[in-house]
Structure 1
Amino acid sequence: MKKTVALHNLGCKVNAYELEAIQQLLEDRGYEIVPFAPGADVYIINTCTVTNIADRKSRQMLHKAKKMNPDAVVVACGCYVQAAGEKLEEDTAIDLIIGNNKKKDLVDILENFLAEREDGGKPSDAECKSFLVDMTHNREYETLSISKTAEHTRAFLKVQDGCNQFCTYCIIPYARGRVRSRRQSDVVEEVKRLVEAGYQEVVLTGIHLSSYGLDFPEGEKETLLDLIRAVDAVDGIRRIRLGSLEPGIITEEFAEAIAAMPKVCPHFHLSLQSGSNGTLKRMNRKYTAEEYKHKCDLLRKVYGNPALTTDVIVGFPQESEEEFEESRAFVEDIHFFETHIFKYSRREGTRAAAMAGQIPEQEKTKRSHVLLELDERRRQEYMEGFLGKELEVLMEEEVEIDGVHYWTGHTREYLRVAVLSEENLMNQMVLVTPARIHGKDCLM
């Protein structure tokens, strides 16, 4: 009888990609994937550690899994596991601990564990087993790949892992290790498999995508731009999106090169975090607000009206009213399509957590509301600029809006569009001229 496995992901798109790759490895070995509900033989939770809240959610899901079936094997993998280290071995809810760069071996580790149980141990007798690699010295790119994804039209591809930036608020370089890049040829082969499976759009993503290729030895250097060109050359791919980018990678040469490739979508997430130079310096970001604005100008020079999105942290330690106002005014001036606002969350193990001048939670909430209102206004303004224009939409799903069935999808700028149609439009490119905005985020 097939063993059943329930999967749950916490965190970023890279984590989601890795869990989908693990799912395919499990399916290839004959395991049956079931919903994350009571009754599974095995529960696998891919954890996140980006904030203390993420740590707590990871622990909660691990304990929830054990409660759903006390006799099940509970597997904890991912970033929280890597950051928490051996401390987790004392948690009786966990049977297997699998760190980053060991996920590719998860199925083998699981099968060995199950075999040991069947040879004579009772579930309650089994000790937690840990498989962790020291990520501070590991330079190996962990090979995981997919040929399908939970989404039916858009596939996320992990092409890079690790980070060398050491921003003062971030634990990720310790959990993910240093920059490691996937070989271009390997990425291209996966893109070709996804094309054969019917995907028309791919998103190149990583922990610090802009660092792609920095780890390759001299004489074998490949840059992110080289990778984009290689993916662009694959027949059948019609859209290429890029994950979060650092401002430093946007040069005139880079902007002009990607603009010359029609498959590259005019939709760019440029990480900001603050529009105040004082705050940026305490964060150990590698640019000034003025340099960041120049990068946005370069993209608008070659694309006209690209969708620019960003992240902003409010309430970073020592952020004064004046610094917050500088940040707010900067965000207003740039005219982002979307701004993702985060209240600073103290993360143990980072330099920022030990800084003096921690901002009260109430003040963080007040500042985040100011930026949320600005974000809503700017998003509406950007969307209004596309009314009455013919847009190419890749259709993704059928939804009900006000009791009526529509097909929805996204434009090249990642604007959501709804279309009335009795046909099945799944994964079709459709030209649409929207006349109005429905709610906060949908053109119709």
Structure 2
Amino acid sequence: MKSVALHNLGCKVNGYEMDVMQQMLQEKGYKIVPFDEWADIYIVNTCTVTNIADRKSRQMLHKARKLNPEAVVVAAGCYVQTGKEDVLKDVGVDLAIGNNKKKELIPFLEKFLEERVEKVNEKTNDGFKTLDDTTIIDIGNTKEFENMQLRETSGNTRAYIKIQDGCNQFCSYCIIPYARGRVRSRKEEDILEEITGLAARGYKEVVLTGIHISSYGTDFGGPALLSLIESIHGVEGIERIRLGSLEPGIITQEFAARLRTLPKFCPHFHLSLQSGCDETLKRMNRKYTSGEYYEKVELLRAVFDHPAITTDVIVGFPGETQEEFDITKNYLKKIKIYEMHIFKYSKRKGTRAADMKDQVPDEEKTRRSNLLLSMEKEYSKDYRTGYIGKEVEVLFEEEKVIDGICYQTGHTGQYVKVAKRGEDSLSNQLIRGKVTGFLQEDMLLIE
């Protein structure tokens, strides 16, 4: 049987889909090999969130071609969806598969291999790369959720579960609605079936992920995200339920209060902020104000004991003056988020922001980014310090050797890294212990 090498770029949704594609290939008897080795087939699950992501996608496709000039090189995913014309012109790509078509990887691949012998002299033919326009659809018009079933992942403690696809928000800097289409939610029974199977195989934590999970259920009038979480809570064997990125608007008193009653729910909330300045938020086409965001954070802190609140912040968005940046900086000082992922605005062709006036110079973006990164480091340490002397519950995952000493490491429900000294594996065990201090800058130590 042929050998296949896979490489994934981008978000957790892409990661989930890649895991399922690998699973399908293995079930068909394909041999999976590392991506930097010789293979008969190379599959790159691409990303297109920024122009840099596009470039990385092309680089990995061309790397595959160099590793084996005679291999079948498959480009799949978001870059294919938004950059179809470029992909079809790229002589390094043999087969192009868009979003909502990854489930059909095996039949597409087998059909391509059958026809390749006959059409060997037509490798750059557009119709051949898309199997007569069957591998890429008009994603904006589809209402079907591409249901996949994951049975195992590369890890052995935590599984990411795709519950939703697409986005209707159209933030001015974001290409994803064009790459992923409109909101499409997965049926609750399919989600529960997948999670039940994973629990039977020993997985104890699930992370609900999607492109915009706050919109779960809004497209078919079905149960909303909160009801889904409550249903998952009843699955035997699952000990932790964690959420992917949320929009502030979903946080209400009822939402927080009902989650507070669920012992398996992890009080870790990633609430996308992007800017603390209302004028910048308007240009970004975000659907909240800085004041509304602050209210949501305070609500969570009132309902939960020491919840972990993390966020994303973009610096150097078009038109962001020094005054606007200072507003964001002062806002972040007031709100003191546990972890902030700081991004320098990257122009993305095809978005409204790419054509906006007053683009911020790269050196200024770097300066602003460095300032916020310094703040993030301070606030992150402050948050972790709050656990010293307290007892926490840790789901252990792997062994690490630090300064010649063996430790078992894992995460708390708030996703704080924790280590316990010892050589005996604690993988996939939930253990309580008292925090004694820091082992590393981003890792606490328990005994």
Q: TM-score range by the shorter chain?
A: over 0.9
Q: For residues 58 and 341 of structure 2, what CA distance do their matches in structure 1 show?
A: 25
Give deviations 1:225-264, integer Å, cap 9, x for gaps.
1110110111111100000000000011101011111111
Confirm or deny that 1:215 pairs with 2:219. Answer: yes
The structural deviation recorded for 1:308 is: 0.3
Give deviations 1:198-238, integer Å, cap 9, x for gaps.
00000000000100011104xxx210011101101111111
Confirm or deny that 1:291 pairs with 2:292. Answer: yes
Give deviations 1:401-429, integer Å, cap 9, x for gaps.
11111110001111101111232211111
Q: For residues 277 and 103 of structure 1, what CA distance do their matches in structure 2 show?
A: 39
Q: Output the amino acid matched with 2:151.
A: S
Q: Secondary structure at the match of 1:434?
A: strand
Q: Unpaired segments of 5 or more residues in structure 2?
A: none
Q: Secondary structure at the match of 1:49?
A: coil
Confirm or deny that 1:153 pairs with 2:154. Answer: no
1:71 touches 1:123 (CA, 8 Å); kept in 2? Answer: no
Q: For residues 435 and 304 of structure 1, what CA distance do their matches in structure 2 show?
A: 20
The structural deviation recorded for 1:346 is: 0.2
The structural deviation recorded for 1:121 is: 4.7
Aligned position for 1:13: 12
Distance 1:441 1:75, change over 3 A: same
The structural deviation recorded for 1:14 is: 0.3
Confirm or deny that 1:253 pairs with 2:280. Answer: no
1:307 touches 1:337 (CA, 8 Å); kept in 2? Answer: yes
Distance 1:286 1:125, change over 3 A: closer
Aligned position for 1:380: 381
2:94 touches 2:123 (CA, 8 Å); kept in 1? Answer: no
Q: For residues 76 and 35 of structure 2, what CA distance do their matches in structure 1 show?
A: 16
2:57 touches 2:79 (CA, 8 Å); kept in 1? Answer: yes
Q: Output the amino acid matched with 2:64.
A: A
1:308 touches 1:338 (CA, 8 Å); kept in 2? Answer: yes
Residue 176 (structure 2) aligned to one of 167, 172, 176: 172
Aligned position for 1:27: 26
Aligned position for 1:106: 105
Give deviations 1:160-216, integer Å, cap 9, x for gaps.
000000000000000000000000010000000100110000000000010001110
| TM-score for both structures, normalised by structure 2 | 0.97
1:314 touches 1:367 (CA, 8 Å); kept in 2? Answer: yes
State how 1:8-407 maps to structure 2 within 5 Å. Answer: 8-118=7-117, 120-122=118-120, 125=123, 127=125, 128-130=128-130, 131-217=135-221, 221-407=222-408
Aligned position for 1:427: 428
1:81 touches 1:97 (CA, 8 Å); kept in 2? Answer: yes
Q: For residues 155 and 423 of structure 2, what CA distance do their matches in structure 1 show?
A: 22
Q: Secondary structure at the match of 2:109?
A: helix
Q: Secondary structure at the match of 1:341?
A: strand
Q: For residues 209 and 43 of structure 1, what CA distance do their matches in structure 2 show?
A: 31
2:275 touches 2:328 (CA, 8 Å); kept in 1? Answer: yes
The structural deviation recorded for 1:39 is: 1.4
Q: For residues 124 and 116 of structure 2, what CA distance do their matches in structure 1 show?
A: 7
The structural deviation recorded for 1:87 is: 2.7
Q: For residues 396 and 187 of structure 2, what CA distance do their matches in structure 1 show?
A: 31
Q: For residues 366 and 424 of structure 1, what CA distance do their matches in structure 2 show?
A: 43
The structural deviation recorded for 1:124 is: 7.7
Give deviations 1:345-387, integer Å, cap 9, x for gaps.
0000000000000000000000000000000000000000001
| TM-score for both structures, normalised by structure 1 | 0.97
2:88 touches 2:124 (CA, 8 Å); kept in 1? Answer: no
Stretch of structure 1 that moved more, 268-277 or 79-88? 79-88
How many residue pairs were aligned? 439
% identical aligned pairs: 57
The structural deviation recorded for 1:395 is: 0.5
Q: Output the amino acid matched with 1:107.
A: I
1:76 touches 1:94 (CA, 8 Å); kept in 2? Answer: yes
The structural deviation recorded for 1:125 is: 4.8
2:398 touches 2:425 (CA, 8 Å); kept in 1? Answer: no
The structural deviation recorded for 1:86 is: 2.7
The structural deviation recorded for 1:126 is: 6.6
Stretch of structure 1 that moved more, 297-306 or 69-78? 297-306
Q: Secondary structure at the match of 1:329?
A: helix
Runs of 4+ in 1 over 6 A off after TM superposition: none
Give deviations 1:299-358, integer Å, cap 9, x for gaps.
111102100000000000000111101111111211111000000000000000000000
Q: For residues 123 and 139 of structure 2, what CA distance do their matches in structure 1 show?
A: 30
Q: Output the amino acid matched with 2:351.
A: T
2:274 touches 2:314 (CA, 8 Å); kept in 1? Answer: yes
Q: Unpaired segments of 5 or more residues in structure 1?
A: none
